[in-house]
Structure formats: C-alpha cells, structure tokens
Homo-oligomer: A and B are copies of this chain.
C-alpha cells in the first residue's frame, strides 16, 4: 500500500523512535530488525527500504543525539555572560534537568554509553563518535578559557585539566542517573551535586 511522502517520513521517524527504545533496552546486538519493525507497526520490508541495515539506523540515531546538543552549547556560548563559570555551572544543571523530561534522549544516551559494543559493523563508528565527543569537550573548554581571560580564574589554573574534571563529573552523574533513573532523584540531586562541585573551581580564584 503505497503511502504519501509525509506518511513515509513518519514511518522513518517511527522506526528511529522504535529503534532507540529497543536498542537502549536490549543493546544493539540483541535487537532484531523484526522487533524494531513491529514496534514501529511495520515489517522488515519497511526497515530495509529506509535503511541499509541495522548499522545505518545506529548511525542515524547518533546524529539525532549529538547535533542538538552541540547547537545548544554554541547558542549559549554566544551570550556574553559576566561570569563564565557560573554560566557553565548553570548550563550543566540545565542539561541534567532537561534530560529528566526527555525520555528519548535518556534512552539514546543509554544506548551509546552503555549498550554499544562498537564491534563488528559498528567498529568504524567508535573513532567517529569519539571525535564528536571531543568536539563538545572543546566547547566546554571555551567557557573556562573565557573565564580565565576575564580574570575570573587563578592564573595557574589549567583549562585542559578543569575541562576534563568537569567532563568526568558530569559523565559520572549521567551514568549514575541512567543506570537507575527511578532511584536517582536528579531534579533534586543534580543541582546540589553540581553546585557542590563548582565550589571547588571557585577556590581557584584565590
């Protein structure tokens, strides 16, 4: 039954949404194209029409995760905040709070952090995804460099180390949350944890 272009595009979206859910639940390897298709209300025929194979679905999902994240930070960096470190802190808190409401994003993060073996057909994407991550790390670093230029940080402070420090901490919170979303009250704890953490960096001023 030939569909209209809008319907076709919807099928594609349905497939991607279904894939996120299935992948994040069972991992990429254990997920079947058949159950993804069924979860989207179609058959494997539709899958092979829209995508080459499972790997291509995987890659399409990563784009859908990373692009908006980078755009959000880039937009935030445009603003001329007087206290870059406070701006960064608030951004970190906001990222966590936003995450709670966006179940799609949660599942996609679970998928790429914890359910991707990056072996076999997926192996080539390991480096590619790592490079994308490095890109967002550089964006974080720009906050710290701005702060240092504005004299808001100790002159001895190492932007590279601070960036890594923040990245580690954020990733840790992410993992603890994603590992058990119901047991981790992120709305309450994330601000507390992040505020507590950023107090360290305030020390660097002196």
Q: How far is the CA of A114 from the CA of B28 in the complex (A)?
A: 12
Bound Cα distance from A127 to B197, whole angstroms:
29
Q: Which of B114, B119, B161, B180 contacts A30 (CB 8 A)?
A: B119
Chain B hits for A27, CB < 8 A = 27, 29, 117, 119
Q: How far is the CB of A168 from chain B (nearest CB, A)?
A: 3
Q: Which residue of B114, B130, B176 is within 8 Å of A167 (Cβ)?
A: B176
* Interface residues on chain A, number (Cβ under 8 Å): 35
CB distance from A175 to the nearest CB of B (A): 5
A117 contacts across to B, CB distance below 8 A? 26-27, 29-30, 115
Interface of A toward B, CB cutoff 8 Å:
25-27, 29-30, 113-117, 119-120, 130, 161, 164-165, 167-173, 175-176, 179-180, 189, 192-193, 196-197, 199-200, 203
